[in-house]
Amino acid sequence: MTLALTPQNAHTASVRAFKAPGASIADAALLERFNIAGPRYTSYPTADRFVEAFGPQDLQAAYAQRRAIPGLANRPVSIYLHVPFCEALCYYCACNKIITKHKERAAPYLADVAREIDVVMQQLAPTEGAASTAVASVSQLHLGGGSPTFLSDAELADLMALLRRSFVFAEPAELSIEVDPRTVTPARLQHLRSLGFNRLSFGVQDFDAAVQQAVHREQSTGQVFALVQAARQLQFESINVDLIYGLPGQSQASFAQTLQTLVALQPDRVALYAYAHLPTRFKPQRRIDSQQLPSGAEKVALQALALRSMHEAGYVDIGMDHFALPTDSLAVAKRKGLLHRNFQGYSTQPETDLIGLGVSSISKIGATYSQNAKDLESYRAALDQGQLPVVRGLALSRDDLIRREAIMALMCQGVLEVPAFAQQWLLDFSSYFAPELVQLQDYAAQGLVELSEQRIAVTPKGWTFVRAIAMVFDRYLQEAQRRAQFSKIL
């Protein structure tokens, strides 16, 4: 299907006239050089560092500290709620999911989530005699999966009603949901809007029919266009589309057509992920014919093609693999130096505690990370005992906190202000990070960062490799063998 590049919304003209700031096309040699394995840094330390010694009591202690510290008890929180069910298996998927066509499985799961919310609310409730009796407001809610749209309209309505009864939602709050285009209609989108959702993320992955067939995720281009048009008419504030490069059957010619279609669709945001083929870790990927996968060089060429297309279409390079139109709140936040990053990726929200609900979800409370049980049986068993369903986590050390701040400054703002950082953490920066500064000299020679006594700044060309730059500050990656646990960064 060939589509004319027809404007999809009112701000097309201004977007086309806009030249993306801070964007530079990296050459193929650099892309090949940094085609290495590494974490995505939705957190630091990364989730592979979580330990089973961290359990429900440790998370309770973190909540208790939150309640005890003045000003923290009523500080806004973010909520992530994991819906694990999917009707069909996508072969590339590495998410925690349950494949089933039995819609009746959702009801008992939602009942379990309700029980978890009750346990969490006990932890959030102000202690007797506390200065504040206010319960924290929710500034951000994200429903992910799996496929949240596996739930029926009635179940989604009941779930949102439960959340609103339990938590106080800020005005305005960011309410987002991941959408499988195969499971929704314009009428369903209208229902989501009526429930208060103001942001959508469509999982498209590729517009090419042959590639879709190879990964068992088939949806028509016309269907996606109709849904995005409906979402615009319903005035969703931001619409994201996920694409993946490196899938079986992709070629430069086919992916160029997919990118042309994407530009015609013109979503507010684009998440451009590299496919990581790890069949020994993720069973569904064993169904992919590895002979059909692009070679390393071809994958690098696909990424270069995508970067060029995004920049030429006026998208702002937010960092790593995310792009946004200059009018989108992510791009505005980046220009203002207000960009943040959490377990959902880049965010406009200030750093907040994150409450994870449902199987496998991750919470960040104070200086701790914790993850819920990954299977329904263990999750339910913990709730049967009235416990938080935590099975592993981590209490961050001072060094973890220091390095997290350095990594997030580079990932989000692209700048680490050395004197302010040193003063904040009461350290001698050049001594504390002596090995890292030596490593960064090579990055500076490649034109990826600019180094001075005052700052470390990611260059326009360096944004493509910001993940590799951040890895320099990762103490755990100094053991080179650990890199094999991660997907490649490009």
Higher pLDDT, 125 or 434: 434
> Which of 288, 265, 290, 151 has the alpha carbon at shortest distance from 204?
265
Ranges of each domain in the chain? 13-45+398-490, 47-355
Domains 13-45+398-490 and 47-355 share a fold: no
Known binding residue 92? Answer is yes
**Topology (CATH level 3) of domain 47-355:** pyruvate-formate lyase- activating enzyme (3.80.30)
> Which element (helix H / strand E) includes 6?
none
Residue 155 structure tokens? 């179940």
Residue 242 among known ligand-binding residues = yes
Residues 407 and 472: their CA atoms lie apart, in Å, by 9
The residues near 118 (Cβ < 8 Å, ≥ 6 apart) are none
The Cα–Cα gap between 430 and 374 comes to 42
| 145 assigned binding-site residue | yes
Edge-to-edge strands, sheet with 415-417? 415-417, 455-458, 449-451
In this predicted structure, the answer to whether residue 317 has a pLDDT above a threshold of 70 is yes
Q: State the pLDDT confidence band at 23, using cuts at 50, 70 and 90.
A: very low
Considering the entire predicted model, what is its pTM?
Answer: 0.88
Q: What's residue 72's pLDDT?
A: 77
Rounded distance between C-alpha atoms, residue 255 and residue 298, angstroms: 11
| CATH architecture for the domain at 13-45+398-490 | Orthogonal Bundle (1.10)
Q: Do residues 271 and 315 touch, judged by C-beta distance below 8 A?
A: no
Per-residue pLDDT at 27: 67
pLDDT over 60 (residue 47): yes
For the chain, give the mean pLDDT.
88
Does 178 count as an annotated binding residue? yes
pLDDT above 70 (res 405): yes
Nearest to 438 by CA among 414, 465, 463, 472: 472
Query: Which residue would you say has higher pLDDT here, 138 or 460?
Result: 138
Q: Are 335 and 14 in contact (CB under 8 A)?
A: no
Which position has the token pair 């990964």? 215
Would you say 188 and 182 are in contact if contact means Cβ atoms under 8 Å apart? no
Q: Please indicate if the annotation marks 217 as binding a ligand.
A: yes
Average pLDDT over residues 218-241: 97
In the block, tokens 């961290």 appear at 54
> Is there a binding annotation on residue 244?
no
* Mean pLDDT score, 52-77: 90
Q: Is 93 annotated as ligand-binding?
A: yes
Q: What residues have CB less than 8 Å from 320, skipping those under 6 apart?
A: 40, 411, 466, 467
Q: Helices (DSSP H) in 288-375: which residue ranges? A: 296-312, 329-336
What pLDDT, on the 0 to 100 scale, is given for residue 225? 98
CB 191 within 8 Å of CB 269 = no
Q: Quick one: pLDDT at residue 19?
A: 35
Determine if residue 205 is labeled as part of a ligand binding site. Answer: yes
Residue 80 annotated as binding?
A: yes
